[in-house]
Structure 1
Amino acid sequence: MKQARIIGTGHYVPANVVKNADLEALMDTNDAWIQERTGIKERRHIVPGGEDTTSTMGAKASQMAIQKAGVTVDEIDFIIFATLSPDYYFPGPGVMLQKQLGFKKEIGALDVRNQCSGFIYSLSVADQFIKTGMYKTILVVGSEVHSGGLDMTTRGRGVSVIFGDGAGAIVMQATNDKDKGVLSTHLHAEGQFAEELALIAPATTDWIPNYIERNDPEDIRYYPYMNGNFVFKNAVVRFQEVINEALEANHCSADQIDLLIPHQANLRISQFIQKQMNLSDDRVFNNIQKYGNTTAASIPLALSEAVEQGKVKSGDLLCLAAFGSGFTWASALIRW
């Protein structure tokens, strides 16, 4: 059985920087309040009507990953695209990216809708495809545009200050080297809490014409809802559980982790996990301070930056972990 190895990483963020101070003109908030609760200093938002979309950002991150991998577009056998914010309701962004990158082969494109854990779920699918020999080289993408769907008022500040736009991508390829690549992935869900972090409408249960007919300005279900304290309490538990699950499955301990890259949900969550696992600052990578929570894009974006900054070297043991809407959570242990 083949191993699945990451051979290239890439990322892209919009040029438009939105600092905490910029939000003060839109809502009752301030830099100190946001940093104290989330650790975020700034985030990127696309310019409405500009060239950046979920699929175009994913394409730009993919181009970087493909270039770093030293392969061509036509060597890619399959596309997996994770997002909660597709360009269109349908079709999904996987086929949009296929068109934008100019694939000549009519390869398959799979869209994954697992929100914050979407990238690790996608990585796990790619890992299984490669290990079974179905595909040799797979492009895995996470990309999000949150900014246009946020309630940028005081009413929505508990959610809106957190999220940003961006994309990350990796190229995974089969290798015979049993000492390198994805060691294991671990996926979980707890649907009973689905509505604790959700975007409820418009949906097939309440189509857009119903909104138009009601014309109710107090109906805010088309903005994301998050039960912040409840999500935080579940996140810190599930993060530790799924990280330890990956370590135990591979007979490893926390002190063997060279770099932990958590989903960039909230810096306070990452810091809590770091403290609980007794990891030094140089063994945990965070960039939420610059980009906010980019959901499915956060881990590949952070991984790409960590590689770019020389924080990942051959032989390192990497742990990726995520928790979010669904609730879903996941981890991956990787020997670089």
Structure 2
Amino acid sequence: MGAYIHGVSYYLPDHVLDNDQLNRLFPEWSADKISSKTGIYQRRIAGKDEFTSDMAILAAEKLFLEYNIDRNEIDFILLCTQSPDYFLPTTACIVQDRLKIPTSAGALDFNLGCSGYVYGLSLAKGLIAARIATNILLITSETYSKFINDKDKGNRTLFADAAAATLITAKESLCEIGDFVLGTDGSGAENLIVKNGASRNRELSGEDLLQDDGSFRNDNNLYMNGGEIFSFTAKAVPLMVNEVLSKSKLTLPEVDLFIFHQANAFMLNFIRKKIGIPEDKFFLYLENCGNTVSSTIPIALKEALAAKRIDTDAKVLLAGFGVGYSWGATVLHFK
């Protein structure tokens, strides 16, 4: 039994953080320098009283309206987030109730970041193949901004908040989800982490520590070792792309469009050149929304469709990679 994407929608918060604002906070970094290094001009930031479930609801409601989806036909909710509303209950349960999806539906959270959308597609395809569900609502929703130290100029220039909603169905629809390549290397856990707040380090006792590059580290907040993340990505992503092409019985030129996790423009272009992907087949969409973690791929997929970059019979390769370390790729076959 095949699994198909029926539609994708997304939600961005109202508050905008642009490069001019960041320049006023960090005068040593000009607006032009920020955009040239990251490819980002502005980010959307969740409001003080806006949380993961709130954004998830708005993305899902937009999906229902845009694609005329009957919520009563949804029989499973998968919610990818690393910033849940609570330790428990799962945010997916809260979303089920607020969306008025039938209580016969299954619902669960899974904690993954930049590879989360691809992992979510794999879980949805598995549920359909096992005949556990036929209409799955996959939501990615993240409020990383609430983890970032106000003095952390590096992470503030990159990360933003968003939610995306995708309907995956057993009925033939927009595109069929292909085979998967997934991977994990937990030895890199320390390089992208929020150390305090969960069970191992429950007390929020961190203090701001000045780093050699002029940034601040606080174990209560998000820490990213940018150099190590770059090295991991440069090594893992080309191997993953080659493996998913082999598994899909495709060559690089046979893929019509590549949509990678939208980390930052410099990193993405480095990887693109290393793999040998032509620039006109490589889709970027982060200028006006930033790195929205698990939502970058569905947002870019939606925008690629809107820009008519995906034709009938197109093959689109999705690749996610990051925190964990974790990575995943698949090929979408459009009808």
TM-score by length of 2: 0.91
Does residue 162 in structure 1 map to residue 161 in structure 2?
Answer: no
Equivalent position of 2:43 in the other structure: 43
Opposite residue 160 of structure 1, the aligned amino acid is: R
Equivalent position of 1:22 in the other structure: 21
In 2 relative to 1, CA 200–253 (structure 1 residues): closer, same or farther, beyond 3 Å? same
* Residues 1-336 of structure 1 mapped to structure 2, 5 A cutoff: 2-28=1-27, 29-49=29-49, 52-153=50-151, 156-175=152-171, 181-208=176-203, 211=205, 216=207, 218=209, 220-336=218-334
Tell me the distance in 2 between the aligned counterparts of 1:110 and 1:312.
31
CA drift at 1:180? 5.1
Q: Deviations over 1:66-122 (max 9, x none)?
A: 344443101111000001111222222211211221113331111111111111111
Q: Identify unmatched segments of 5+ residues in structure 2.
A: 210-216
CA drift at 1:216? 4.9
In 2 relative to 1, CA 228–72 (structure 1 residues): closer, same or farther, beyond 3 Å? same
Opposite residue 159 of structure 2, the aligned amino acid is: F
CA drift at 1:305? 1.9
Tell me the distance in 1 between the aligned counterparts of 2:144 and 2:60.
20
Tell me the distance in 2 between the aligned counterparts of 1:296 and 1:180.
20
Moved more, 266-275 or 216-225: 216-225
In 2 relative to 1, CA 32–85 (structure 1 residues): closer, same or farther, beyond 3 Å? same
In 2 relative to 1, CA 308–190 (structure 1 residues): closer, same or farther, beyond 3 Å? same
Tell me the distance in 2 between the aligned counterparts of 1:67 and 1:335.
25
In 2 relative to 1, CA 229–217 (structure 1 residues): closer, same or farther, beyond 3 Å? closer
Opposite residue 45 of structure 2, the aligned amino acid is: H
Tell me the distance in 1 between the aligned counterparts of 2:207 and 2:145.
22
Equivalent position of 2:213 in the other structure: none
Tell me the distance in 1 between the aligned counterparts of 2:32 and 2:68.
44
CA contact (8 A) 1:4 1:174 kept: yes
Q: Deviations over 1:199-221 (max 9, x none)?
A: 1112212222x63xxx8555810
CA contact (8 A) 1:168 1:304 kept: no
Opposite residue 268 of structure 1, the aligned amino acid is: F
Tell me the distance in 2 between the aligned counterparts of 1:228 and 1:196.
8
CA drift at 1:192? 1.0
In 2 relative to 1, CA 276–140 (structure 1 residues): closer, same or farther, beyond 3 Å? same
Tell me the distance in 2 between the aligned counterparts of 1:217 and 1:333.
43
Could you say what secondary structure the match of 2:104 adopts?
A: coil
CA contact (8 A) 1:66 1:171 kept: no
Give the aligned CA root-mean-square deviation in angstroms. 2.0
CA contact (8 A) 1:8 1:67 kept: no
Opposite residue 35 of structure 1, the aligned amino acid is: S
